[in-house]
């Protein structure tokens, strides 16, 4: 007769998945924000917030001054500016963390299906 290990308790399996998810979120979501574009997006968001309009020409460029500009990400730029003004860098990091959690949840839900 062959001996079988008892099945792993369901709570232990869920705890393992939770710890892996938290590790991934910690590694990818909590280190400081980096990148040269974030500051430019915040400056554009500040300009749009104070002027109440999306710019048709680039107000900050020296080389392309007066040329047409299409602000594809105007809503996120305003959102980045408002979050940074109200909650600082921690707010932007929490936004990033929330988006990572949302993406992981969607991926795990899709994987279960």
Least confident of 5-9, 84-88, 106-110: 5-9
Name the token pair of 24. 């991934």
Residue 5 lies in a domain: no
* Domain ranges, residue 41: 22-27+35-112
CA gap 43, 32 in Å, rounded: 19
**Model pTM above 0.85:** no
Report how many domains make up the chain. Answer: 1
Grade residue 87 by pLDDT with cuts at 50, 70 and 90: very high
Q: What is the mean pLDDT of the chain?
A: 83
Residue 94 lies in a domain: yes
**Sign, Cα dihedral of 77, 78, 81, 84:** negative
Q: How far is CA 23 from the centre of its chain?
A: 17
Residue 9 lies in a domain: no
Residue 13 lies in a domain: no
Residue 12 lies in a domain: no
> Which residues 6+ apart lie within 8 Å of 24 measured at CB?
100, 104
In tens, the pLDDT along 23-72 reads 777 776 666 666 668 888 899 999 999 999 998 888 887 887 778 888 88
> Which residues 6+ apart lie within 8 Å of 112 measured at CB?
none
Residue 56 lies in a domain: yes
């Amino acid at each position: 007769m062959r001996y079988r290990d008892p099945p792993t308790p369901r709570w232990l399996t869920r705890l393992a998945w939770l710890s892996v998810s938290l590790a991934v979120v910690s590694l990818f979501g909590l280190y400081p924000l980096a990148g040269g574009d974030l500051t430019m997006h915040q400056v554009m968001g500040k300009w749009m917030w104070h002027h109440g309009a999306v710019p048709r020409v680039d107000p900050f460029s020296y080389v392309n001054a007066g040329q047409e500009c299409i602000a594809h990400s105007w809503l996120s730029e305003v959102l980045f500016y408002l979050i940074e003004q109200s909650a600082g860098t921690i707010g932007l990091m929490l936004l990033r963390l929330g988006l990572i959690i949302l993406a992981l949840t969607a991926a795990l839900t899709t994987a279960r299906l």
